[in-house]
């Protein structure tokens, strides 16, 4: 490809990127509605991976997510909305637990998934798994992820205790026993 070509067709390199963003967004949407028509809540990302051009497309997604392209941001919002619908269905079927805030829960889960995608290089170091690679390589990630998603990491007692501290009364005012409610900004290492 010659440099002049992209200008002729897209006006500028930036406009090409916008077109690409739009294209991946469209592809993922399409893939998503495909799997919706097929069987209930098949993950479109997983389905994408089986596509021939899935992994490179995911790689592009991973790069684009961090620079806040408007089209990808929109896509994310749609994916959250879809996930809320799926999960409501899952709840009705007795598969998923109810949530205090289904939208927030779906958003957090999507952020985590996408975050792992963006950090695939780090995931490779930490887990020895290429998140952008073949589906069968993915178990090293899926297994611990499912463990957490399935049961959580905390015992019921510990959860009750912490859940009280994060109650809906926004300001850290009431209880008085614990002055600074800095229990853990990232949910990683509350121990």
Partner DNA sequence: CATCATATTGAACATGTATTCAATCTCTTC
Partner DNA sequence: GAAGAGATTGAATACATGTTCAATATGATG
Enumerate residues 162-181 that contact a copy of itself by CB under 8 A: 162-163, 166, 168, 170-172
N-to-C CA span, the chain: 54
Of the candidates 18, 20, 90, 130, which one interacts with a copy of itself according to CB under 8 A?
Answer: 90
**Residue 12 lies near DNA (rule: CB under 7 A):** yes
Q: Which does 2 bind (CB under 5 to 8 A by kind): DNA, a copy of itself, none?
A: DNA
Long-range contacts formed by 76-82: CB under 8 A, 24+ apart = 76/110, 76/114, 78/29, 79/28, 79/32, 79/110, 80/106, 80/107, 80/110, 82/32
**Residue 133 lies near a copy of itself (rule: CB under 8 A):** no
Backbone angle region of 187, left / alpha / beta, with phi > 0 → left and psi within -120 to 50 → alpha: alpha
Of the candidates 4, 8, 37, 136, which one interacts with a copy of itself according to CB under 8 A?
Answer: 136
Of the candidates 8, 155, 174, 179, which one interacts with a copy of itself according to CB under 8 A?
Answer: 155
Q: Are 51 and 57 in contact (CB under 8 A)?
A: yes
**Residue 134 lies near a copy of itself (rule: CB under 8 A):** no
Applying CB under 7 A, the residues found at the interface with DNA are 1-9, 12-14
């Amino acid at each position: 490809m010659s440099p002049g070509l992209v200008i002729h067709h897209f006006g500028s390199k930036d406009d090409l990127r916008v077109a690409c963003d739009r294209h991946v967004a469209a592809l993922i949407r399409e893939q998503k509605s495909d799997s919706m028509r097929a069987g209930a809540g098949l993950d479109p990302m997983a389905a994408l991976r089986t596509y021939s051009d899935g992994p490179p497309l995911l790689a592009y997604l991973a790069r684009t997510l961090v620079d806040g392209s408007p089209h990808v941001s929109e896509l994310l919002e749609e994916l959250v909305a879809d996930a809320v619908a799926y999960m409501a269905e899952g709840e009705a079927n007795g598969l998923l637990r109810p949530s205090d805030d289904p939208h927030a829960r779906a958003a957090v889960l999507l952020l985590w998934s996408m975050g792992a995608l963006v950090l695939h290089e780090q995931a490779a170091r930490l887990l020895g798994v290429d998140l952008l690679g073949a589906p069968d390589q993915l178990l090293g990630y899926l297994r611990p992820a499912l463990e957490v998603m399935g049961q959580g990491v905390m015992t019921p007692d510990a959860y009750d205790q912490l859940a009280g501290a994060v109650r809906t009364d926004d300001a850290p005012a009431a209880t008085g026993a614990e002055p600074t409610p800095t229990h853990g900004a990232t949910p990683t290492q509350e121990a």
